[in-house]
Structure formats: C-alpha cells, structure tokens
C-alpha cells in the first residue's frame, strides 16, 4: 500500500490557527507499522476506490431503515496556540434501543478466508468515529463494526466489538498526543516561514524586463490563473518564477510550491535559487525527489522484507526518522537522505516522499504530478486538492512527456509469453490470457502495417476479467519469476484500462505491426485535458521555457482554460553579440543526403572553426549523418590543432560529464563536439563564455516519419489545423531553438550560430524565429568565410 503521510490544512484565524486533517489520514499516518512489500496491494487507488464506492452504496442500501449512511463527523481540540480539527464521514451509523453501531466498510482484493481479524488502521478509523459520536451523544459504550467486501466476488465478512466510551477516550487521547508534535511542528514551521518573508527582497538587481516578469508571476498566482512565459536565455526565469511564488505563499495565496522539471540539471538550478533566497533571510524547507532506483541502498531494487533490510520493519521506524530529519536545518539532498536512511534503517525513497509532506517546496520531475502511475498520491490522489503552486520549467518538454504518460500499449506476444510462464499454475488465468491473445489475433489479421480503429469492441471487458484473475493469482504463493511476470503484465493491463476510461475526442485507437510484434495502442494526441485535471488540484500554474513558441501551440496542448495569461520576456543580451547565418545552398532532406551534400556541410564547419580558435558544437538530425559528416570532416578538413569528439548513442552519466569537461575553459586549440539535435547536449547545459563560441545546426529538426506522427498529422488536419505543423514543424523548430540557445548564455558571451538547411528561408520556418533572431544573414558556402571573419574582427580583443 502507499505509505500515506499526513496531509493537513491550516486556516489562519484572528484568534487561533485551525489545523484540519481527516480521520483516515490521522490513523494511517500515526498507526502504520510493519514492512514495505511490493508483492502486496498491487491494485491501484483509482480502481479500488471506484469498485469500493459502488459496493459501499450497494451494502448501505441493503441495511435496515435505522442505518444512516455517510454520516459526517467533526471533532475539535484546543491547544495553547492552535486547534486540531478532525473531519470524517462514517460509512454507516445504526442506532436502535440505545445501542449505537458504527460501521466501517472496506473493499479488498484479499481472500476473506485469510482475514481472521480487522486490519488495525481500519479498526482505528472506526474507533475514532465511535469516540466522536459517542462523546457528542453522551453514550456509555459504542459498537464498532468492520465490514469487508471482496471487490470481485462481493462476498462479505464482518467483525464486531463493543467498546466502552472510557476505553475509547483513553485510546483517542493517546492517539492525539502522538500527533501533537507533528501539528506543533507544522504550526511553528509556517509561522517562522511567514515571518521570514515579510521583508524578503529580490536578491539581484533586476535585469531588463525581469521586474515585469516577477510581477506577472505574482499576479497570476494572486488571481489563481495560469501563465505561459516565453523567456529567452539570460532573463533569469528560474528566480523570476520562484521569488514571486515564495512571496505569494507568504501572503497566503498558496501553501506548497512544486517546481517541476524534465532534466536533472534544471533541478540543480532550482535548488541554487532557493539557496540564494535562504542566504537573504528566507526560512524555507525544500526537498528534491530523486528516482527510486537512484536512491536505493541495495545492489538490486526489490522492495520486500525478504530481500531488503530497509524494507523490513520500515513503517515501524519511518515516522521517527522523518521527524528527526525535519529537525535538521540543512538542504535535503540525495546524500543527506541516503545517510539518514542508513542511520534509521528505512527506505530512503519512501522516507523522501514522507518528508515531502512536511516541507514548503518540492523539486521533482513532471511525473510526480502528472503521470497517473507515478504521481504523488498523498497530494494528487483521487478527490484530493491543495493550495499548490506549480512552476513548470522547460515546459516545452511536457508535450511529448504528456502524450506518453496518457497513452497505453499492449503487445499480443506478451500475453502468449505470460500464458507460457503460468502453464500448469492456474487454468483460469491461462484461459483468459489465451482469450485476450485470440482477440488481438483477430485485429492482427486485419492490419498490414498500421490501422486506426473506431473502437475496441469487447476487448476491454476481456482485459477486466483477466486483471481480476491476475489479482487472485498474485494472492497465492508461486515461484518468484512466475509472480513477477504476471505482476508486470498486470501493470500494463491496468494502465491500459485506466487510459481506456479516459478515452475521448483527444485519443486515437490504432493497431500496428512493428519488428515482428503486434500492438494495440491508445494514443493520447492532445494531453491538455488530462494535464489540466492535475493542475486543477492546485491553485495556479506557471509554464516557462526559452523555447515556448508558438505560444498558441503549447497552450492548446497544456491547458483547457480560456483565461490563461501569456508573456514574452525580452532578451537582456545585445543582439550584436550573436552572429546568425543561414546557409541557403545546403539541405538535410533525405533525397539530398549523400557524399556531395555531406562534404558541403563539412566545408561549412571548417569555415566556422577556422574563423577563430575555440570550442564548437555541431548538431545533426541523426547519428548516421553525424558519423558520416564527421568522417569527411576529419579526413578532408580538420586542422592539426582541432580535436573532435562524438556523442554516443548510449552514454552513461559519467561519459556525459566527461564529454562536457572537454569544453572546460583554459584549454588551447579548437574543439568540435559532434552531437544530435534533441539529445542530451542540445538543451539544459550551460557552456558560457569561452566554453562554447559557436554552433552549427544541420537541418530543421523534423521528427522521423512514423505511424504515430502521421496519425498526429491526420488528427489535426481533420480539425482544420495544419497537421504538419503540429506533428513535425513545431517539434523540429523547438530542437533547433534549444540547440542554438547553447551559444549565448551571459551578457559577456559572443558567438556564431550557423543554420544549415535551405528550408530555414521558407516563411513557415522564419515566422517561428524568436524576436532576438532578427537581423539574421543569408549566405552561401562561397561567402560564409567572409561573414565569419567580419564578425570576429569586431571582437578580436575579446577574451
């Protein structure tokens, strides 16, 4: 089950602060115990809640007339500085002849014959309701009943016990006493945070346009709106977003900031921005959520007590571990989390998530907010909402990420393989796997390469039946490799069904034959509605990027609101510092690819690097073209003092760092890094000053033609929108803009960007150029050398 930390709200009143929390969150947080175990409770919250809600209503309707369903209950306890307010809803209360029974209904997948006593946290929830109702009615005793209903068979098992109010009172007061230190921490933390913000000022002199940017972000948050910011390099967009968000929190317009990124490097920039504000007096606790596999302290990540000593008894120790960590006044870095988890013998990843519930700001990947399989359920679970502020950095990356999160795919071959693995272990499971495979075979017969489908017929029903049997199968004991195979396929089936529930006009269903495999796909062409549902769980969102053009394109893919704001931040750099050249006599089109064209590209590169000694990058549309041009450049054009390095298709983190270290300042000679458009070196890196003085961009960055790209194109064409723009041109130009943005990083930088493709001269591409690209020059290979020499001659004394 998810390790649920407490989610509470604080209302500032004139007399006293009220700390609100639910009964369920209270007992699940304070009374959790035992071990982490990835083999148990694989059903998703959403699925269990939907089925459980239906069964709740069905059971409630079957009860006698004196049974009152869904009874709201509240309780308040006043302390010296604040009030704790508990809220909840009893599933049922039955009152007959001075006898009161509190009913707590739970839908479970567990075989009810294995349930010999109520689960402790479920019993505790019923006891809380029993105490609240009993004390408010002046009762001497209350009967609590736990009603367990199997989510598939709908079989019911009940446990009853009568408890005196005196016993309930002692137990309840002890429970609140355990929670008091957490409430006190939360109260004092927010008080200190608020006081530290009263005189907080922007930590730097404002750059041109930056003051307007800060005001725009604050205004957006104040009005609980959404803002799209196109902010060129050098504007200082990270601080321009974080500072007003922090001030807005201090003035009560939000409670917790989520800084969302797509890459590790941008998380570091956010951490540094918060650190600078702390140096200027801000009291603000932030945590960066690192991927589970990176935080794991074991050689192999297997989260169950049999394989992991940190999983064994994790819940017995984690609350004390988190409280101790919160008492430390230092950034919660990966190293700090690992060291603390080792000391307390708890899972560092789960401890990190628990700590996140108590800090002021969370820096994390997009997935933790938007991905339905990974999102932080303690903040964004079904029916949950909070005073959250979302700052979404490098937002252009969210287009493809969003599509991927809300799309789903199932392969026919995976069902056959699972059937082979479970053979002889479960006849019913074998049969249902075979049925699904057979239905996929019928689709396969009608599909040559790719086929758009109007619907999936009865296939989703077959999948639902299969998923239920998988759950039953996983409750039984089997060899680890068998259970793992079934579990992995069950995750895929469940995600497919969850995405099937979201199907609307923004989806396309298609099947595809690819590399001897056959798949059925739910393709989320436009993720805006799904992303907006996540953003609606908070107060406000700010999207910002150096390449968020055209804004209308990104708004249509991120937001469904009609009242969004938009801002364009002017570049603070002198336009004369950048020499932008467009090569009109070269192309990266497939029909032109070959030795003659590649030699011309190599000649352009040679002209650029001979113009001035220094570091350069060349970006190509594919690894194959990169390698071919590299060979020609080395053999026919390279200088003795020129070193060349190539991006590899599978570079690990260390290799990427070594590649970038080659661009360190102080090295003599010329360095040319051969890279790919859209790759790890095309965005998110900061090679300022002499680290990079020029870049060549070969081609318009258009994605390769594929079935999915063509489906995307047709989708928009049918709606009267230029599908080529949405499927190819806009994503391609984003790669170009990102790569070009590597050159000028500070006000001191000077450099050359060379765009090599005749298509850049077409109006469809030129209208996508940002304002800071005005004044570009068109050249041919015969004249590019003179243009380069002319630019550098102006800055010959620059060093």
Q: Could you tell me if 518 and 617 lie in one domain?
A: no
Which helix (H) or strand (E) element contains residue 627? Answer: helix 623-636
C-alpha distances (whole Å) from 522 to each of 439, 454, 495, 500 are 16, 11, 11, 7
Which helix (H) or strand (E) element contains residue 545? Answer: strand 540-545
Buried b (16+ CB within 10 A) or exposed e, 444-461: beebeebbebeebeebee
Confidence of residue 209 (pLDDT cuts 50, 70, 90): confident
User: Is there a domain that residue 564 lies in?
Assistant: yes
Reply yes or no on whether the pLDDT at 360 is more than 90: yes
Q: What does the alpha-carbon distance between residue 262 and residue 67 come to, in Å, rounded to a whole number?
A: 51
Q: Could you tell me if 402 and 444 lie in one domain?
A: no
Maximum mean pLDDT: which of 104-108, 382-386, 668-672: 668-672
Buried b (16+ CB within 10 A) or exposed e, 173-208: eebbeebeebbeebbebbbebeebbeebebeeeebe
Beta bridge partners of 517: 514
Reply yes or no on whether the pLDDT at 799 is more than 50: no
User: Is there a domain that residue 778 lies in?
Assistant: yes
Q: What does the alpha-carbon distance between residue 418 and residue 424 come to, in Å, rounded to a whole number?
A: 12
Token pair recorded at residue 194: 């608020």
**pLDDT tens digits for 99-134?**
899 999 888 777 788 889 999 999 999 999 999 999
User: Is there a domain that residue 312 lies in?
Assistant: no
User: Is there a domain that residue 302 lies in?
Assistant: no
User: Is there a domain that residue 799 lies in?
Assistant: no
Reply yes or no on whether the pLDDT at 6 is more than 80: no
| Domain finish residue from 127, 156, 189 | 189
In the chain, count of helices (H) and strands (E)? 28, 25
CA 94 to chain centre: 44
Q: Could you tell me if 457 and 435 lie in one domain?
A: yes
Average pLDDT of 75-94? 94
Range of the domain at 112: 9-189
Neighbours of 653 (CB within 10 A): 10
Q: What does the alpha-carbon distance between residue 270 and residue 272 come to, in Å, rounded to a whole number?
A: 5
Beta carbons within 8 Å of 50's beta carbon, 6+ residues apart: none
For helices 23-30 and 120-137, angle between their N-to-C axes, nearest 10 degrees: 130
**pLDDT tens digits for 738-773?**
999 999 988 889 999 999 999 999 999 999 999 999
Beta bridge partners of 159: 146
Which of these ranges, 42-56, 112-126, 186-200, 631-645, has the smallest mean pLDDT? 42-56
User: Is there a domain that residue 107 lies in?
Assistant: yes
Q: Could you tell me if 426 and 365 lie in one domain?
A: no
User: Is there a domain that residue 347 lies in?
Assistant: no
Reply yes or no on whether the pLDDT at 51 is more than 60: no
Rg of the chain over Cα atoms, rounded to whole angstroms, equals 30
**pLDDT tens digits for 232-280?**
888 899 999 999 999 999 999 999 999 999 987 778 899 999 999 999 9
**pLDDT tens digits for 149-203?**
887 778 889 999 999 999 999 999 999 999 999 999 999 999 999 999 988 999 9
Reply yes or no on whether the pLDDT at 59 is more than 80: no
pLDDT score recorded for residue 755 = 98
Q: Could you tell me if 626 and 766 lie in one domain?
A: yes
CB-CB contact of 575 with 426 (8 Å): no
Beta carbons within 8 Å of 165's beta carbon, 6+ residues apart: 131, 134, 135, 139, 140, 141, 142
Maximum mean pLDDT: which of 49-53, 107-111, 372-376, 674-678: 674-678
Q: Could you tell me if 532 and 518 lie in one domain?
A: no
Reduce the secondary structure of 122-159 to three states and give it as a string: HHHHHHHHHHHHHHHHCCCEEEEEEEEEECCCCCEEEE
Alpha helices in 458-536 (DSSP H): 459-475, 480-501, 528-535
Q: Could you tell me if 66 and 84 lie in one domain?
A: yes
Q: Could you tell me if 179 and 84 lie in one domain?
A: yes
Reply yes or no on whether the pLDDT at 50 is more than 60: no
CB-CB contact of 201 with 282 (8 Å): no
**pLDDT tens digits for 713-731?**
999 999 999 999 999 999 9
Confidence of residue 666 (pLDDT cuts 50, 70, 90): confident
How many structural domains are present in the chain? 4
Distance spanning both ends of the chain, measured CA to CA = 59
| Domain finish residue from 124, 156, 189 | 189
Reply yes or no on whether the pLDDT at 589 is more than 70: yes
Q: Could you tell me if 117 and 216 lie in one domain?
A: no
Q: What is the CATH number of the domain that holds 714?
A: 3.40.50.300
Q: Could you tell me if 700 and 726 lie in one domain?
A: yes
DSSP 3-state of 603? helix
- Tell which residue, 71, 84, 79, has the closest CA to residue 10: 84
Average pLDDT of 695-708? 96
Q: Could you tell me if 389 and 481 lie in one domain?
A: no
User: Is there a domain that residue 327 lies in?
Assistant: no
Percent of the residues in the chain that have a pLDDT greater than 70, as a whole number: 95
Mean of pLDDT over the chain: 91
Q: Could you tell me if 116 and 265 lie in one domain?
A: no
Beta strand residue intervals within 651-788, DSSP E: 670-676, 694-698, 751-756, 777-779
- Tell which residue, 522, 505, 503, has the closest CA to residue 410: 522
More confident residue, 299 or 726: 726
Q: What does the alpha-carbon distance between residue 139 and residue 164 come to, in Å, rounded to a whole number?
A: 9
Reply yes or no on whether the pLDDT at 495 is more than 60: yes
Neighbours of 430 (CB within 10 A): 17
| Domain finish residue from 160, 189, 218 | 189
Q: What does the alpha-carbon distance between residue 466 and residue 792 come to, in Å, rounded to a whole number?
A: 68
């Amino acid at each position: 089950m998810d390790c649920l930390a407490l989610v509470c709200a604080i209302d500032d009143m004139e007399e006293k602060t009220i700390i609100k929390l639910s009964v369920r969150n209270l007992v699940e947080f304070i009374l959790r115990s035992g071990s982490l175990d990835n083999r148990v409770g694989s059903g998703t919250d959403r699925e269990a809640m939907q089925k459980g809600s239906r069964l709740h209503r069905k059971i409630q309707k079957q009860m006698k007339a004196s049974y009152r369903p869904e009874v709201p209950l509240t309780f308040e306890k006043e302390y010296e500085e604040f009030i704790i307010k508990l809220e909840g809803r009893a599933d049922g209360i039955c009152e007959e002849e001075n006898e009161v029974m509190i009913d707590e209904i739970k839908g479970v997948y567990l075989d009810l014959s294995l349930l010999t006593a109520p689960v402790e946290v479920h019993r505790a929830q019923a006891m809380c309701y029993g105490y609240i109702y009993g004390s408010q009615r002046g009762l001497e005793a209350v009967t609590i009943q736990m009603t367990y209903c199997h989510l598939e068979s709908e079989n019911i098992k009940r446990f009853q016990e009568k408890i005196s109010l005196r016993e309930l009172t002692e137990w309840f007061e002890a429970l609140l006493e355990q929670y008091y230190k957490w409430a006190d921490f939360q109260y004092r933390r927010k008080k200190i945070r608020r006081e530290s913000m009263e005189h907080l000022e922007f930590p730097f002199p404002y750059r041109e346009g930056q003051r307007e940017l800060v005001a725009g972000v604050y205004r957006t948050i104040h009005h609980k709106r959404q803002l799209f910011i196109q902010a060129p390099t050098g504007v200082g967009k990270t601080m321009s977003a974080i500072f007003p968000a922090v001030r807005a929190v201090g003035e009560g317009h939000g409670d917790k900031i989520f800084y969302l990124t797509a890459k590790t490097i941008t998380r570091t920039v956010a951490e540094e921005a918060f650190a600078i504000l702390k140096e200027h007096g801000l009291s603000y606790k932030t945590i960066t959520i690192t991927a589970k596999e990176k935080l794991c302290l074991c050689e192999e990540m297997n989260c169950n007590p049999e394989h992991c000593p940190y999983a064994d008894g994790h819940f017995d120790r984690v609350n004390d571990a988190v409280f101790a960590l919160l008492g430390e006044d230092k950034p919660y870095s990966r190293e700090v989390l690992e060291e603390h988890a080792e000391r307390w013998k708890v899972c560092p990843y789960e401890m990190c998530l628990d700590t996140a519930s108590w800090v002021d700001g969370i820096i994390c990947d997009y997935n933790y907010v938007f991905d339905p399989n990974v999102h932080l359920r303690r903040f964004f679970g079904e029916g949950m909402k909070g005073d959250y502020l979302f700052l979404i950095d490098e937002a252009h990356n969210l287009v493809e990420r969003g599509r991927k999160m809300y799309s789903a795919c199932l392969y026919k071959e995976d069902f056959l393989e699972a059937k082979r693995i479970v053979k002889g272990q479960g006849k019913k499971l074998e049969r249902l796997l075979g049925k699904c495979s057979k239905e996929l075979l019928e689709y396969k017969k009608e599909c040559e390469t790719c086929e758009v489908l109007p619907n999936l017929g009865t296939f989703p029903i077959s999948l639902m039946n299969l998923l239920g049997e998988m759950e039953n199968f996983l409750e039984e004991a089997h060899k680890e490799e068998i259970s793992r195979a079934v579990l992995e396929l069950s995750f895929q089936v469940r995600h497919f069904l969850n995405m099937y529930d979201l199907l609307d006009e923004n989806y396309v269903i298609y099947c595809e034959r690819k590399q001897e495999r056959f798949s059925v796909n739910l393709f989320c062409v436009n993720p805006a509605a799904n992303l907006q549902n996540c953003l609606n769980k908070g107060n406000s969102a700010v999207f910002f990027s150096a390449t968020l053009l055209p804004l209308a394109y990104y708004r249509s893919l991120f937001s469904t609101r009609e009242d969004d704001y938009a801002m364009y931040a002017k570049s603070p750099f002198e336009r004369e510092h950048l020499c932008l050249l467009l090569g009109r006599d070269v192309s990266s089109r497939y029909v032109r690819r070959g030795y003659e064209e590649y030699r011309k590209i190599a000649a352009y590169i040679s002209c650029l690097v001979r113009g001035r000694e220094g570091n350069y990058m060349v970006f190509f549309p594919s690894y194959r073209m990169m390698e071919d041009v590299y060979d020609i450049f080395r053999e026919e054009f390279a200088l003795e003092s020129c070193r060349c390095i190539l991006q590899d298709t599978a570079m690990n983190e260390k290799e990427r760092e070594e590649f970038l270290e080659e661009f360190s300042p102080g090295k003599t000679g010329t360095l040319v890094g051969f890279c790919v458009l859209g790759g790890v070196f095309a965005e998110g890196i900061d090679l300022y000053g002499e680290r990079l003085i020029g870049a060549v961009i070969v081609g318009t960055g258009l994605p390769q033609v594929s079935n999915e790209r063509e489906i995307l194109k047709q989708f928009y064409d049918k709606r009267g929108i230029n599908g080529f723009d949405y499927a190819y041109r806009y994503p391609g130009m984003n790669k170009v803009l990102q790569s070009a943005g590597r050159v000028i990083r500070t006000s001191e930088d000077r450099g050359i960007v060379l765009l090599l493709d005749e298509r850049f001269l077409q109006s469809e591409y030129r209208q996508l150029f940002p304002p800071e690209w005005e004044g570009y020059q068109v050249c041919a290979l015969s004249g590019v050398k003179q243009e380069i020499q002319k630019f550098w001659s102006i800055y010959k004394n620059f060093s």
